[in-house]
Amino acid sequence: MSGINIIEGRMAPLDQANVDTDQIIPKQFLTGVTRQGYGINLFHDWRYLSGSEKKVNPDFSLNSPLYKGANVLITRENFGCGSSREHAPWALADYGFKCIIAVSFADIFYGNCINNQLLPVALTSKQMDVLFDMVKQDPDTSININLSEQQVVCGETRFTFDIAPHHKTNLLKGLDAIGQTLELNTDIENYEQKRQVWL
Amino acid sequence: MPATLYEKILDSHLVNKLGDDLLLYIDRHLIHEVTTPQAFAGLAEKGRKVRRPDLTFGTMDHSISTRSLALDACGPQNQLQLNTLATNCAQHGIELFPVGHKNQGIVHVIGPQLGLIHPGMTVVCGDSHTATHGAFGALAFGIGTSQVEHVLATQTLKQSKAKSMLVKVDGKLGLGVTAKDIILAIIGKIGHAGATGHVIEYAGEAISSLSMEERMTVCNMSIEAGAKAGLIAPDSKTIEYIQDREFAPKQAHWDEAVAYWNTLYSDDGAEFDTVVNLQAQDIEPQVTWGTNPGQVIGVNGKVPNPASFEDTIVKNSAEKALSYMGLTPGQSINDIDVSHVFIGSCTNSRIEDLRAAAKVAALGKVQSSVTAIVVPGSVQVKQQAEDEALDKIFIDSGFEWRLPGCSMCLGMNDDVLQEGDRCASTSNRNFEGRQGRGARTHLVSPEMAAAAAISGKFTDVRKLGA
């Protein structure tokens, strides 16, 4: 996987808290055996009207022509709560999102994003208000997220964000996490030697 | 320095430490059909092997029918996923409990039942309800598919140390109040994201009084408060539960193991980042009214008015939830009619759950307006229930008696509700669309679910005199 550093583009707003992974990608789409093809069903039950196959719901923000082509999703608290399904970040990435900016993320989802080169950025509630206002006033507002500088820049507005150093390194370099761990094989073998046989 | 149980388990599994990155050894890896195909494909792409197939166990649970043992009963896509698991396990020498096997069942039911889970272990599975196994004092948590692949290849996982939360439930539970009510009350108190970034340790008289199966119900829903894991320190009940099970340590190893397990508790003076206290006698049978498990109230309560919440986020979430749930503020929970009842899931499908529900089911008949199903958690639970003639009680009362699986908890098979259906469910999530698009889920205990089936609406099980 190649690394990511600078993400430039436009925002799509999803102004609600506690968006769970059942909403991001409902259960009926989890029967796949590959990592591809989930984008079409991202936010399925909100995005498409019920009782019809893929008839778009005009009231759902992502369906607005204003946000077509957006690659940064902005949302609220506790995004990605619920199930551990990695199909959620696969669906977001397959749809075209490169970065999710939220007030907070659920733990498993956050880790799953890191493992899929989908950048999760946490800002404060007030900072999110600013981004929501900007995109409301001008849907074409461009946004620039710089991972190495840990900054979100939107016009004159500049926010810094926190990210754990190991997550940052993995995203920047696009490292093969398994390959890295396999280099520690001696440590793993040493541990296994002292491990109780009845375990 | 005094250490928490969580810290003791981390410490004993440390393979390598790089800054805040802890490389932990994983003792048990449980796998199922939904979250593993891409992980095995990843291994194949890189020519990697499964490092410890002997520590990895598979079962089929999510995508299977509860009416038929045929793998194609829920369509070709489900069948492909199930066959993919079977092929991957065979290829890598992993023991699999497929449909039809005596050990098959919901992954979090069969692990403990087979004696695979011991105190002090690290346990992972590509499923957020892995916290169930914390009931044994094991550090157990759900992981994504990339992490499944990492564990398959290395038997380790990189983790940062989580914060710790002590949830103490003092006093004694009232009659008719269950482990499910304890955990729903805890989530109601701290909120749906109240334990994000934390590992919870549950303690106090009301927790230590619980049976092992009841403790599993409590730990199972730790994730519904956002927690990474939930733990209960092992005691004599834990040890007694494990003894003589199929994969339990045997003979001399048993004594060694027990001696070690007895060291697993949080030391006096160990510090927790957060402490939450509840009184067991204040807990009533719980019913969720919203679309996350923190939106919950006692059965004799009323649907809250969103305007009564100060926090804007909580208020907005409540408004949205009531609109989806088709409820009005001030409505009595006791007045809410149900169309469906689901007794099952990794939260509440063990033998004690079925016994408790059957006791209530025996008091009456399922209302004609209600469709009620009972889905045992495993083949062994089903067999045990049938040996005790619980299936007859359920069937006589008007419940359907099904084959084991995850079933209507998430509806990856054909156990799916229709728009507008309202279900009293013993599962763990009341998210929008979880049991079917537009379907409304209320989380309750097995006793309360059975009471709703025979009453046609939510009823305080204590008033039925079970």
The yes-or-no verdict on residue A133 having pLDDT over 90 is: yes
Q: Which residues of A touch B15 (CB under 8 A)?
A: 184, 187-188, 191
More reliable by pLDDT, A74 or A52: A74
Nearest CA in chain A to B27: A199
Q: Which residues of A touch B9 (CB under 8 A)?
A: none
Whole-number Å distance between alpha carbons of B446 and B450: 6
The long-range contacts involving B387-395, CB below 8 angstroms and separated by at least 24 positions, are B388/B355, B390/B354, B390/B355, B390/B358, B393/B358, B393/B361, B393/B362, B394/B357, B394/B358, B394/B361
pLDDT digits (tens, 9 = 90+) for A178-193: 999 999 999 999 999 9
CA dist B346 → B30, B195, B221, B353, B409 (Å) = 14, 21, 10, 11, 9
First to last CA, chain A: 35
Residue at A160 is within a domain: yes
Domain span including residue A74: 6-198
Q: Report which residue type is found at B1.
A: M
- Structural contact between residues B236 and B374, judged by C-beta atoms closer than 8 angstroms: no
- The count of domains in chain A is 1
For B312, the enclosing helix (H) or strand (E) is helix B312-325
**Looking at the complex, does the CB of residue A27 fall below 8 Å from at least one CB of chain B?**
yes
Residue at A1 is within a domain: no
Q: What is the pLDDT of residue A52?
A: 67
**Looking at the complex, does the CB of residue A117 fall below 8 Å from at least one CB of chain B?**
no
For residue A18, give how far its alpha carbon lies from the nearest alpha carbon of chain B (Å): 8
Q: What is the pLDDT of residue A166?
A: 86
Hey, of B23, B125, B255, which one would you mutate to test binding to chain A, going by the most A CBs within 10 A of its CB? Answer: B23
Whole-number Å distance between alpha carbons of B447 and B182: 14
For residue B291, give how far its alpha carbon lies from the nearest alpha carbon of chain A (Å): 10
- B2 by DSSP, 3-state: which? coil
Residue B105, beta-bridge partner list: B378
Q: Which of residues 52-111 of A touch B (CB under 8 A)?
A: 76-78, 81-86, 89, 104, 106-108, 111
For residue A8, give how far its alpha carbon lies from the nearest alpha carbon of chain B (Å): 26
> Do B154 and A76 count as a contact with CB atoms less than 8 A apart?
no
**Looking at the complex, does the CB of residue B196 fall below 8 Å from at least one CB of chain A?**
yes
Q: Which residues of A touch B84 (CB under 8 A)?
A: 33
Q: What is the pLDDT of residue A1?
A: 63
Q: What is the pLDDT of residue A60?
A: 97
Q: What is the pLDDT of residue A197?
A: 83
Q: Could you read off the pLDDT tens digit of each residue along chain B, which spans 466 residues? A: 999 999 999 999 999 998 888 999 999 999 999 999 999 999 999 999 999 999 999 999 999 999 999 999 999 999 999 999 999 999 999 999 999 999 999 999 999 999 999 999 999 999 999 999 999 999 999 999 999 999 999 999 999 999 999 999 999 999 999 999 999 999 999 999 999 999 999 999 999 999 999 999 999 999 999 999 999 999 999 999 999 999 999 999 999 999 999 999 999 999 999 999 999 999 999 999 999 999 999 999 999 999 999 999 899 999 999 999 999 999 999 999 999 999 999 999 999 999 999 999 999 999 999 999 999 999 999 999 999 999 999 999 999 999 999 999 999 999 999 999 999 999 999 999 999 999 999 999 999 999 999 999 999 999 997 6
Whole-number Å distance between alpha carbons of B29 and B21: 21
- Structural contact between residues B372 and B454, judged by C-beta atoms closer than 8 angstroms: no
Whole-number Å distance between alpha carbons of B416 and B419: 10
Length in residues, chain B:
466
For B127, the closest of A16, A84, A182 (CB atoms) is A84
Q: Which residues of A touch B254 (CB under 8 A)?
A: 198
**In B225-382, which ranges are E strands?**
229-231, 274-279, 286-288, 296-298, 340-343, 371-374
This prediction's pTM: 0.97
Provide the number of CB pairs (under 8 Å) joining chain A to chain B: 182
Strand pairing class (B296-298; B286-288): antiparallel
For B212, the enclosing helix (H) or strand (E) is helix B212-220
**Looking at the complex, does the CB of residue B419 fall below 8 Å from at least one CB of chain A?**
yes
> Do A27 and B228 count as a contact with CB atoms less than 8 A apart?
no
Reference B104, options B406, B384, B379, B412; nearest CA is B379
Structural tokens at position B166: 């002590």
Residue at A178 is within a domain: yes
**Looking at the complex, does the CB of residue B316 fall below 8 Å from at least one CB of chain A?**
yes
Hey, of A57, A83, A92, A125, which one would you mutate to test binding to chain B, going by the most B CBs within 10 A of its CB? Answer: A83
Residue at A161 is within a domain: yes
**A104: confidence class by pLDDT, cuts 50, 70, 90:** very high
Q: Which residues of B touch A104 (CB under 8 A)?
A: 193, 196
Whole-number Å distance between alpha carbons of B26 and B50: 13
Query: At residue A98, what are phi and psi to the nearest 5 degrees?
Result: -110, -20
**Looking at the complex, does the CB of residue B434 fall below 8 Å from at least one CB of chain A?**
yes
Reference B113, options B427, B346, B390; nearest CA is B346
Q: What is the pLDDT of residue B19?
A: 83
A45-74 per-residue burial string, b: 16 or more CB within 10 A, e: under 16 = bbbbeeeeeeeeeeeebbbeeebeebbbbb
Residue at A109 is within a domain: yes
Whole-number Å distance between alpha carbons of B170 and B158: 35
Q: What is the CATH number of the domain that holds A171?
A: 3.20.19.10
Judge residue A130's burial from the number of C-beta atoms within 10 Å of its C-beta, 0-12 exposed, 13-18 middle, 19 or more buried. middle
> Do A164 and B433 count as a contact with CB atoms less than 8 A apart?
no
Residue at A162 is within a domain: yes
Report the percentage of chain A scoring pLDDT > 90. 92
